[in-house]
Amino acid sequence: MWQVMGHEKAVALLEKSLRGGKLSHAYLFVGPPHVGKMTLAMNLAQALNCQGEERPCGECPQCRRIAERKHADVQVIGLDGRMEIGIDQIREMQHAASLKPFEGRNRVFIIDGADHLSHEAANCLLKTLEEPPPNVQLILLAVNERLLLPTVVSRCQKLELGPLPTPVIEQALSHRWGVPVEQARVVARLSCGCLGWAVAAFADEGLLSERAERLTALRHLAVAGREERFAYAAQLANQFSRDRESVQEVLSLWLGWWRDLMLIKGGCGNSITNVDQEAKLYDEAEGYRLGEIKGFAESLQRAMEQLDQNANPRLVLEVLMLAIPKGKEEAKTF
Ligand SMILES: [Zn+2]
């Protein structure tokens, strides 16, 4: 049984190809962080090595070892705290791919963060994508397809994994993970359709409090002076050089806040994401005009795109800081 929740279209397609023996030798799973890309990739790796009748059975020794990440033929190549996946990692993978499977039927290589392959690494990977050795399955996982070389994308079969509907997450949390109903409702909304985040947030309360702290710091910027805003921009830019994904997370969180303000202003307050901050959102929305909210949400989106395209982070973030509209609190404070 496929463990991944939702993504029925992708699962149906993979199942059909498996049954017909027509799997593509390389897949590219594209979707937001924690949406289920890795779970689906692991499920496919299980299906390719499963000894059960209904593959992936999830119970045979092969499936179990893969789920425990102990299977010698299933390898994950990732960023491991670096800025890029380097050519050395791809060469190592190619060497492993040239060997026969060790304990299963197929060797599976999952490239987690394929949108962060260095240029050389991506070019080097092309060789394997063009002529994969027998019994080798490649699965590339990416958040932002635009950062991949078009030649890499065109050699893979692409499956898009979009955010899951909130009720699906809510149900999964309460049925599969036993989360109390009310908590499941809040966490499901906050997850923006990413089940992995929702499960992690339930298991680790730190994630929720970290999120709340980040929001407080971001909200404070609306009443902070230029110096304080620039100091925050510098801090984020510095963080970006070490861990770009965490900065993108901060900006997504911020964008989510401004989208909620927009929804409230437009009379759609029942669709907001940050349900646990409803009162603060309503209060803050009063201090802005709809045009100001929209304008800043657009600035945020633009900044995120520019960071994706490797623009100077300090500059992008400083420009963003100057775009924050003056809120009600600022009028009061100054
Ligand atoms: Zn199995």
pLDDT of residue 329: 56
My answer on whether 210 and 315 are in the same domain is yes
Q: What is the domain-level CATH number for residue 148?
A: 3.40.50.300
1 domain-assigned: no
Q: What is the domain-level CATH number for residue 216?
A: 1.20.272
CA of 1 to the centre of ligand 1 (A): 9
pLDDT of residue 192: 85
pLDDT of residue 2: 84
pLDDT of residue 318: 96
My answer on whether 239 and 195 are in the same domain is no
pLDDT of residue 207: 83
Q: Among candidates 177, 209, 175, which has minimal Cα distance to 190?
A: 209
Which of 173, 203, 233 is at the close of a domain?
203
24 domain-assigned: yes
CA of 216 to the centre of ligand 1 (A): 46
CA of 161 to the centre of ligand 1 (A): 24
My answer on whether 195 and 209 are in the same domain is no
CA of 54 to the centre of ligand 1 (A): 8
Provide the 3-class DSSP secondary structure of residue 76. Answer: strand
My answer on whether 195 and 236 are in the same domain is no
Residue range(s) defining the domain that contains residue 280? 205-333
3 domain-assigned: no
pLDDT of residue 292: 94
My answer on whether 313 and 230 are in the same domain is yes
2 domain-assigned: no
Per the structure, the count of domains in the chain is 3
Strands 26-30 and 136-142: what pairing?
Answer: parallel
Per-residue pLDDT 10s for the chain (334 aa) are: 788 888 999 999 999 999 999 999 999 999 988 999 999 999 999 999 999 999 999 999 999 999 999 999 999 999 887 878 999 999 999 999 999 999 999 999 999 999 999 999 999 999 999 988 999 999 999 998 988 999 999 999 999 999 999 999 999 999 998 998 888 988 998 888 999 989 998 888 788 888 889 999 999 998 899 999 999 999 999 999 888 888 988 999 999 999 999 999 999 988 899 988 999 999 999 999 999 999 999 999 999 999 988 889 999 999 999 999 987 654 433 3
Dist. CA 149–CA 33, nearest whole Å: 20
My answer on whether 232 and 143 are in the same domain is no
pLDDT of residue 334: 32
Which of 101, 129, 160 is at the close of a domain?
160
195 domain-assigned: yes
187 domain-assigned: yes
141 phi/psi in degrees, rounded to 5: -115, 130
My answer on whether 145 and 174 are in the same domain is no
CA of 21 to the centre of ligand 1 (A): 17
95 contacts: CB under 8 Å, gap ≥ 6: none
pLDDT of residue 324: 94
Dist. CA 271–CA 301, nearest whole Å: 20
pLDDT of residue 104: 94
Provide the 3-class DSSP secondary structure of residue 91. Answer: helix
Strands 136-142 and 157-160: what pairing?
Answer: unpaired
56 contacts: CB under 8 Å, gap ≥ 6: 1, 2, 3, 43, 44, 46, 47, 50, 63
DSSP string for residues in 141-200: EES-GGGS-HHHHHTSEEEE-PPPPHHHHHHHHHHHS---HHHHHHHHHHTTT-HHHHHH
My answer on whether 319 and 182 are in the same domain is no
My answer on whether 236 and 328 are in the same domain is yes
Neighbours of ion ligand 1 (CB under 5 A): 50, 52, 57, 60, 63
Dist. CA 215–CA 219, nearest whole Å: 6
Are residues 106 and 140 in contact, defined by beta-carbon separation less than 8 angstroms? Answer: no
Dist. CA 225–CA 206, nearest whole Å: 29
Which of 144, 179, 203 is at the close of a domain?
203
